[in-house]
Structure 1
Amino acid sequence: MNSHDVGRDRDGVEDALRRVTATTLVLGIDSDRLFPIDGQHRIARSIPHTLDGDESVVLTSDFGHDGFLIETAAVAHHLRRLFAT
């Protein structure tokens, strides 16, 4: 994860994310130490077409990054929102 830089050779992270044309769901887990919420908000601010504007959706979970696999009802709810667009 640390070696991947979406901004490399694309004029930085924000410029690279501004190139995303798909409607995007940016979702984070409040206890995720691998991908902290401030990073998710940075992504949401930079992608032009997100479901929730310039803020990411934040799910509460005691399970850190594994919350994406454990909080299935909450994740599914937001995926349905994305698929409906």
Structure 2
Amino acid sequence: MQSLLWALLVLAWTAIVFLVLGYAGLVTKIRALEAGGTGSGAPNDRDQRWPDLAAPDAGHRTLALVLSSTCPTCEEVAPAWAGA
């Protein structure tokens, strides 16, 4: 019984390590995308960094839909979004 608990503990810590590494990779990619902008990174500088995603004024919101050709969910959802 004790060996089973040790195995579960090792498995749980292994899963935690993989989740932390995955999260770190995701944060790294997001920061690389943000660094690709041409602004200083200030919140009010969004219009200059991504003009296609900028809302016309404070009372409006925009939605960015990102599709991937390798994502099966994207392939199912994209026609529904186009119809909307």
TM-score (norm 1): 0.29
Q: Which has the larger radius of gyration?
A: 2
The structure where strand makes up a greater share of residues is 1
TM-score (norm 2): 0.29
